[in-house]
Amino acid sequence: MNQPKKKPAEIEPEAGMTYASPAIHDRRRRILEETRKMIAERGLAGFSMDEIGKRAGVAKRTLYNAYQTKERMIAIAIHEYFERYLTHIPYTGPVGSLQRNVERMVFVVNRNRQLRNYISALMSIYFSVEADSDIWTTMHSMAVESNLQWINSMKAKRQLQPWIDPQQLADDVVRLEYSIINDWSRGNIDDDDVVLHVVSACLTLACGAARGAARKQIEDMLQELHTSGIPQPALPISRKRKS
């Protein structure tokens, strides 16, 4: 599927939201919350702007004035929820580190396990050949960013194989991550296995692209995960191989 390379940051705020009053912010929160709820309940096929307006207590024309299109409103709702969740992850690793990227995957997939209907609906959208480009690109790009920080850090240290394109690798890691989550949402992977499955698969892919100290670090992390599993609570994950 050929999709435009547009990052979530390029989705501009809703019309009239700059310096908005508390009442406007509360209206926005209601709209986006009801949007996410309806995605979980019905997916895109049954999504209704009329009902969103009724649930949020606003006129349908207000929705279009603020968001222009249904697809844009859905993309903003998905992206905002994901970004808000990321800010609450108690990271221990620095930005651009393997540790931080694994922490993100562990926490996000554990969160997904609590939101099965919502995540199943998102995966149905992502893997649909008819997916709206704004929604698809938002879903893809928001997961790419964290991976790309880590991959670019390896490149800056000359710890990537010379034939690796960082953007393509980051894209492929997300495609793999989402395909496993999709399998889980369809009941093909057990709840207790999905976190380790996602993390180990993505690290195995990245391991083939890395060299030197970065490759050794990934190998040590994989060895630890397959020896001891995902720590409970999920963090921190040691950077050293356990004896």
Cα dihedral sign, 178-180-183-187: negative
Amino acid at 174: V
Same fold, 8-82 and 92-228: yes
> What does pTM read for this prediction?
0.82
CATH of domain 8-82: 1.10.357.10
Cβ contacts of 133 within 8 Å, gap of 6 or more: 3, 4, 6
Distance between CA atoms of 4 and 2, rounded to whole angstroms? 7
pLDDT band at 10 (very low <50, low <70, confident <90, very high): very low
Amino acid at 206: A
pLDDT at 23: 78
Nearest to 218 by CA among 239, 197, 196: 239
Per CATH, which fold does 92-228 belong to?
Tetracycline Repressor; domain 2 (1.10.357)
pLDDT band at 231 (very low <50, low <70, confident <90, very high): low
CA 106-110-112 angle, 5° bins:
120
Nearest to 82 by CA among 138, 6, 31, 137: 138
Q: What is the largest CA-CA distance in the chain?
A: 63
pLDDT at 221 over 90: yes
Are residues 74 and 35 in contact, defined by beta-carbon separation less than 8 angstroms? yes
**Mean pLDDT to the nearest integer, 82-111:** 91
Nearest to 140 by CA among 43, 1, 7: 7
Per-residue pLDDT tens over the stretch 99-141: 999 999 999 999 999 999 999 999 999 999 988 898 999 999 9
Per-residue pLDDT tens over the stretch 18-39: 446 787 888 888 999 999 999 9
pLDDT at 6 over 90: no
* 200 vs 241: which has the higher pLDDT: 200
Q: Would you kindly state where each structural domain of the chain is located, as residue ranges?
A: 8-82, 92-228
